[in-house]
Structure 1
């Protein structure tokens, strides 16, 4: 019996983490075949990652057959799981997503604001094509998406592709649980956080430790010594007033929306001194791939944790393991709402705790949105829907409305300036807009 995993975006610097996760879970999740897939522009990195992955598997002495290819359709044959970790346009495109908004006085970030919008514009059409291929070639396979903006991309695939076996994952809930465990001096697997909201805009509404409610203790500590920010977000801390007023545990990305002026000031300073985060990552990636080339390296290097998306892959591996074994454990994923939050549409994609079964995630009801953040979540969900619509239609007005609806832009004149400049900068990766003469 075979168990095949296809990694789309196999030349990513995160791939060694996937390989490590598969090796570590081999006894319960006995993958027999792994195929790494990438595009022509990523061929050199794919070769480096492929050779490192082979060394890791060789050292593990596990019976895993690994190959890599640029032929995606061929790779998908007989796949059971397909993970997606692509970056359309590479880090050069990310740099434009950050640099152009900052030049107009807006936050420049790869998954939020104008940068996140354009990452979605470039990504959604490509992954819709992938989902169609999966549906045609390996219809029983699960797509595990951790391509950002993960929630928006997952909703686009579930609503607009023929393939419905799609789940989105993110490392933020993982980080929040582990950091909360650290501050409470308990083990991460003893901590359970009830999440409510959507990807990169999710709140913790309740914190339990071995079933005991310790929410108030965590909320009291979060104002001075809880830091669950990934490497790409500098924690600015939270005021006691904000935490007490909302009664919720924010995630690191909420800084962009509730501390906008301070974040923008920090980012502009960093931009002037060190360039964009994308340029920092380019240097880090260069160093990582030099490390990956070392023929004596047989494991994921510690330096990978300096990447902001570290642990995405581990979350994905845990999810696949649970689906394969019908574990019915609880994990936080991006999936259909199906009434878990009655204030949002049934077919909205939310980030929520789910029971993971062989048939996919079953959302656990969390009830109505807290009044303190209900308006924000309504706006963000409407914004996400506009981004998806514009990604598919290539309609300029749809794109403009998405920009104006985003809280980090929300300026009817300056949003148009940013939109026009980004459309021009990313023209090569936006055929849906270009075909309409925009």
Structure 2
């Protein structure tokens, strides 16, 4: 079995290698191909990944390449985890929106739109190469904004599933609070990528909901874990994703971000130190510092998903980004939502959900309208499409703001958008 990782020079990749080594019985692997445009990163990350696998006795061969076609040739699954423009582009996504009084974040608001515009064409080009090399290969997208990128892939007929680590991270935390092994805990999780809520927590598939007990006993601690005021949990009766803070406390977040170091700057410092560690040939285990990079439990989620897509004859429930298919009746069938799905070799099929409460349904509808317009702008370009997407976003929603943000977005991303340069 061969897996290719596009963006394999990411400092995330040793986390994936560690998961592949630990979970070899779940996903037997013969070859791991890391593709990245940076030879320096490939040398450091590829070497580190190979040492991790070897130290745990995994016979998998690690291959590195700078060429996409070479990487995907014969691959059974292709993981996409790239960042167009690198941390420099992310730093801009996190700064110029603040000049207009809007949140600066790489997947939410105007910065998220900029990332979608840069990313969608690149991912579709990669997917076309995957289809040419092996039309039966599965594409797993971990590249943000996952919902928009996955919808672009599915709209072009690619065999794709989107993956985010938010759900598995929260599931692991709740299992710890319950004193239960993670595999015993399932979540009633719904929404769009980076716009999700958990309204139910179940042990061993039982109907009894453990969430009310968790909220009563751990409300303040859970709010702190999610970086949200406890009122957000009390008013909704649910556990909102920490990304909901950008909506529930937008103005407060803007005040905090203005003048503070960007997340891109923090991550860049962490990455420099990680690459220095990876360069040490005596290091054979993933460093603790990797936990500060983000992507916790990414390896467990990725290995479980790929294993189900490639080997499972019977379906395995996992939280993924998948076509709506009537699951949320207020969205189109081809919307991409983040919900528990049954996953096997036939793909991912969303499980039926109870009706979504209005306090969440309204915001989901609003953000999905923005996502539709964002995808149109990413696919077809044009300043008008960019302005429409910004105007539709609930964190913008004002004509003057949309125009000012469009000015800054196009200026900051001129080198990445051919239709702007042309």
TM-score w.r.t. structure 1 length?
0.92
Provide Cα deviations, 1:284-317, integer angstroms capped at 9, x if missing partner: 1111111111110112111101112232233111
Call closer, same or farther: CA 1:69–1:228 in 2, change over 3 Å.
farther
Aligned-residue offset at 1:343: 2.0
Shift of 1:66: 1.3
Would you say the 8 A contact 2:228–2:242 is kept in 1?
no
RMSD: 1.6
Matched residue, 1:167: 161
Q: How far apart are residue 427 of structure 1 and its match?
A: 0.8
Which residue does the alignment assign to 1:235?
A: 227
SS at match of 2:222: coil
Choose which of 232, 236, 242 in structure 2 pairs with 1:252: 242
Cα deviation code 1:64-117 (max 9, x no counterpart): 121100111122111100000000000000000001112222111111111111
Structure 2: distance between partners of 1:47 and 1:353: 37
Distance in 2 (CA, whole Å) between partners of 1:408 and 1:365 is: 30
Matches of residues 259-408 of structure 1 in structure 2 within 5 Å? Answer: 259-268=249-258, 272-273=259-260, 275-326=261-312, 327-408=314-395
For residues 301 and 127 of structure 2, the distance between their equivalents in structure 1, rounded to whole angstroms, comes to 21
Output aligned runs, 1:15-414, within 5 Å. Answer: 15-39=13-37, 42-159=38-155, 161-163=156-158, 165-210=159-204, 211=206, 212-221=208-217, 223-226=219-222, 235-239=227-231, 242-268=232-258, 272-273=259-260, 275-326=261-312, 327-414=314-401
| Deviation of the 1:222 alpha carbon | 5.7
8 Å contact from structure 1 (residues 336, 350) kept in 2: yes
TM-fit CA distance, 1:227: 5.1
In 2, are the aligned partners of 1:132 and 1:162 still within 8 Å (CA)? no
Q: Which residue of 2 aligns with 1:12?
A: 10
- Aligned counterparts of 1:54 and 1:188: Cα–Cα separation in 2: 28
Deviation at 1:178, TM superposition (A): 1.5
Q: Structure 2 vs 1, CA of residues 58 and 185 (structure 1 numbering), >3 Å: closer, same or farther?
A: closer
Unaligned runs of 5+ in 1: none
| 3-state SS of paired residue (1:290) | helix
1:156, distance to aligned residue in structure 2 (A): 1.2
- Unpaired runs of 5+ in structure 2? none
Given that residues 323 and 360 in structure 1 are in contact (C-alpha distance below 8 angstroms), is that contact kept between their aligned partners in structure 2? Answer: yes
Give distance in 1, aligned partners of 2:247 and 2:289.
30
Asked if 1 retains the 8 angstrom alpha-carbon contact of 2:106 and 2:112, the reply is yes
The residue number in structure 2 matching 1:423 is 410
Report if aligned partners of 2:18, 2:299 keep a CA contact under 8 Å in 1: no
Query: For the residues of structure 1 that align with 2:78 and 2:344, how far apart are their CA atoms?
Result: 17
| Cα gap change, 1:9 to 1:372, in 2 (>3 Å) | same
